[in-house]
Structure 1
Amino acid sequence: MKGPASPKGLALTVTLCVAGGLAMLLLAVLAGTVIGEAPLPLTTVGEVLAVRLFGAAHALDPIDAGIIWNYRLPRTLVAAACGAALALSGLVLQSLVRNALADPYLLGVSAGASTGAVAVTILGVGGGVIGISSGAFIGAALAFALVAALARAAGGGSAQMVLAGIAGSQLFNALTSFFIAKSANAEQARGIMFWLLGNLSGVRWPDVSLAVPVAVAGFLACLIHARALDAFSFGRESAAALGVPVRRVQLLLIGAVTLMTAVMVSLVGAIGFVGLVIPHAVRFVTGPRHFRLIPASALTGAVFLIAADIVSRMLIAGQVVPIGVVTALVGAPAFALILIRNRVQA
């Protein structure tokens, strides 16, 4: 029988895994930048990046340079940040709530964030002082607080949490539709409805400067509390018995999930199934330990949403399909397979 791995061997394994993950993410970002309605050579992408990042002296076609630097690259980076953040949010909620169906979309967090963002955009809530991301955060926090209170009143179980989340989602989706019908003109209504299905078309560099730091901060917050999440998988009482400060960790992680979801929804709209399917798929490979689950889920979510964005641009010639449609078309069958596999194993 093999003995425990040496510290050097463990460090080498971790280094190789990190290097492999970063290489996979880099390849996905390059694919998202190269592939599109007008395919561009990889050499052109390299020249544009060399000029923009390192001041190289390449002769660039201004149209190609604009497509790569001002459109595809920021769009791909935001897609990666959004995919990682949503996957992490689903993973954390599934551990805290102890329900395999928990994710920001089903628990009403995404719907609340959409309502907050629409209220700021259409109704002018906040009088210009509150931005779209702040409005989305307030809406997401209110939605989760309502869902948690309703679940507690109904008995506090994980099944009640999911049912309360469905009710909360319907409520906030109805409020969003009411705000749009009441105050938006036809052009605004069309744009918002397209955005609510998930839309990366309007993403630019200022959005990257918001999405990427929030995703990185959320990732670090989750990774720091990986052992606490392992303990929560056995219940709050077990976590408390193991010395986890339950209330503080719950508030911190729920705050991180709410912030990540709110920022991503305010930028690209509500995208379903990423937080639901990705953690389950990753568990089949890494097992249940969160120290491995967290980075693997973030990486898989980032690569998956970049791939979904590429498909959304290529699926119909001359038209961009909302990315939420693509994630649902892939996520619904994948989740059905996960449910069937879990039933067979049980």
Structure 2
Amino acid sequence: MTDPVPARLRPVPLGVAVVLLLGTLTAGLLVGAAELPADGVLRAVLDRLPFVAVDSGLSVVEQNVLFELRLPRVLMAALVGGLLALAGAGYQGVFRNPLADPYLLGAAAGAGVGATLVIVVTPADPVYSVPVAAFAGAVGGVFLAYALGSMAGSGAATLVLAGVAVSSFLAAVQTFLQQARAQELQRIYSWILGGVGTADWRQLAMVAPYALVSGVVLLLHGRLLDVLGVGDEEASSLGLSASRVRLVVLIAASLATACAVAVSGLIGFVGIVVPHVVRRLAGGSYRIVLPLSLLGGAAFLGLADLVARSVVAPGELPLGVVTAFVGGPFFVVVLRATRREVGT
């Protein structure tokens, strides 16, 4: 029997996504509180490429602003957005539901508990301990939800209910921790609302290996998710273990989500909005949805971060607020479209 969905990623949508991402990255480097000449910025970036030597004309201070502040931030926004969108597409493929998002199984609640715990017990600003704790909490939350779902029964519905239960419990734990140290609420809420303003090369290096592994695994499972979409019985007839594919995709998507929230806080709607737009514009095959979600999510969050640091300059909006402004109304549109599709 042949593959039921022989779709391929076409050059045009791929090219459009790459151009959008490159444009967003370029704009992120050019726009900021410190005014840098556009030609100098572009020459400075070219000068860092192998076998290229170009005099940028930028001063030492300007180069530090570009390479120590803006470039890590732009890359972090792209990395976080790409991971969240890719993880969201993976969850939607596993649960066969366009409303599934990366936080479905308790990753957000677990990360919140981990970050809050470090913030309330650490007197100084824990720049690097918070990402580690948030990563561990996100992984732990998903593991707890999966373990609870496995004990309660089998099936996607049971796993979702387990995720809801774990999220509610962990949210209660986080609230208790917040009330115990009310003086730290500002720092806690600053993390919860999300942002990449503190991104640096060390944080990028810290999450890059996990992001690479999870991203590659998810991209390689596009065809298998397409096969799952036709039903478990049909997948079994093709020699595919549906439960094994779901487990691998859930682990990879959860790892990608943990990486994202560890360095950015809780940024919502990216995992729903981007895969849904990709599916509407480029087709429903996960061989198309997964790679375009990765590129589209990177561009989307890069643009959102640009808005966050430009609208109220020299101040900044929380990145989660910007994505909520876009994602909130869009979520209503998705709900209405989904309702029409199911005929209710």
Please, what TM-score do these two structures have when normalized by structure 2? 0.84
The runs of at least 4 consecutive aligned structure 1 residues that moved more than 6 Å come to none
Partner residue in 1 for 2:45: 49
Establish whether residue 329 from structure 1 lines up as the match of residue 325 from structure 2: yes
2:309 is paired with a residue of what secondary structure? helix
Partner residue in 1 for 2:166: 168
What residue ranges of structure 2 are gaps of 5+ in the alignment? 1-6
Instruction: Summarize the Cα distance change of 1:17–1:217 in structure 2 as closer, same or farther, 3 Å threshold.
Output: farther
Report the Cα distance in structure 1 between the residues aligned to 2:151 and 2:308, rounded to whole angstroms: 41
Report the Cα distance in structure 1 between the residues aligned to 2:46 and 2:240, rounded to whole angstroms: 48
Name the aligned partner's letter for residue 140 of structure 1. Answer: A
1:78·1:211 contact (CA, 8 Å) conserved in 2? no
Q: Which of 266, 274, 293 is the equivalent residue of 1:270?
A: 266
The offset of 1:242, in angstroms, is 2.5
1:120·1:132 contact (CA, 8 Å) conserved in 2? yes
Q: Which of 293, 304, 307 is the equivalent residue of 1:308?
A: 304
Partner residue in 1 for 2:28: 32
Instruction: Summarize the Cα distance change of 1:173–1:63 in structure 2 as closer, same or farther, 3 Å threshold.
Output: farther
Report the Cα distance in structure 2 between the residues aligned to 1:20 and 1:99, rounded to whole angstroms: 26
The offset of 1:298, in angstroms, is 0.8
Report the Cα distance in structure 1 between the residues aligned to 2:154 and 2:174, rounded to whole angstroms: 27
Report the Cα distance in structure 1 between the residues aligned to 2:152 and 2:260, rounded to whole angstroms: 30
Report the Cα distance in structure 2 between the residues aligned to 1:38 and 1:315, rounded to whole angstroms: 15
1:82·1:215 contact (CA, 8 Å) conserved in 2? no
Partner residue in 2 for 1:98: 96
Kindly provide the CA deviation profile for residues 302-324 of structure 1, in whole angstroms up to 9, marking residues without a partner as x: 11101110111122232111101
Report the Cα distance in structure 2 between the residues aligned to 1:96 and 1:80, rounded to whole angstroms: 24
1:314 is paired with a residue of what secondary structure? coil
Instruction: Summarize the Cα distance change of 1:58–1:170 in structure 2 as closer, same or farther, 3 Å threshold.
Output: same
Establish whether residue 250 from structure 1 lines up as the match of residue 250 from structure 2: no
2:269·2:327 contact (CA, 8 Å) conserved in 1? yes
Please, what TM-score do these two structures have when normalized by structure 1? 0.84
Partner residue in 2 for 1:192: 188
The offset of 1:147, in angstroms, is 3.0
The offset of 1:198, in angstroms, is 0.4
Instruction: Summarize the Cα distance change of 1:132–1:244 in structure 2 as closer, same or farther, 3 Å threshold.
Output: farther
Report the Cα distance in structure 1 between the residues aligned to 2:271 and 2:24, rounded to whole angstroms: 19
Name the aligned partner's letter for residue 56 of structure 1. Answer: V
Report the Cα distance in structure 2 between the residues aligned to 1:114 and 1:241, rounded to whole angstroms: 42
Counting matched residue pairs gives 330
Q: Which of 52, 57, 60 is the equivalent residue of 1:59?
A: 57
1:1-346 aligned at under 5 Å gives the runs 14=10, 18-53=14-49, 54-120=52-118, 122-123=120-121, 132-151=130-149, 158=156, 161-182=159-180, 184=181, 186=183, 188-345=184-341, 346=343
The offset of 1:17, in angstroms, is 5.0
Report the Cα distance in structure 2 between the residues aligned to 1:157 and 1:256, rounded to whole angstroms: 19
1:114·1:266 contact (CA, 8 Å) conserved in 2? no
Over the matched positions of the two proteins, sequence identity in percent amounts to: 37
Report the Cα distance in structure 2 between the residues aligned to 1:26 and 1:285, rounded to whole angstroms: 20
2:36 is paired with a residue of what secondary structure? coil
The offset of 1:296, in angstroms, is 0.9
Report the Cα distance in structure 2 between the residues aligned to 1:340 and 1:285, rounded to whole angstroms: 17
Name the aligned partner's letter for residue 102 of structure 2. Answer: P
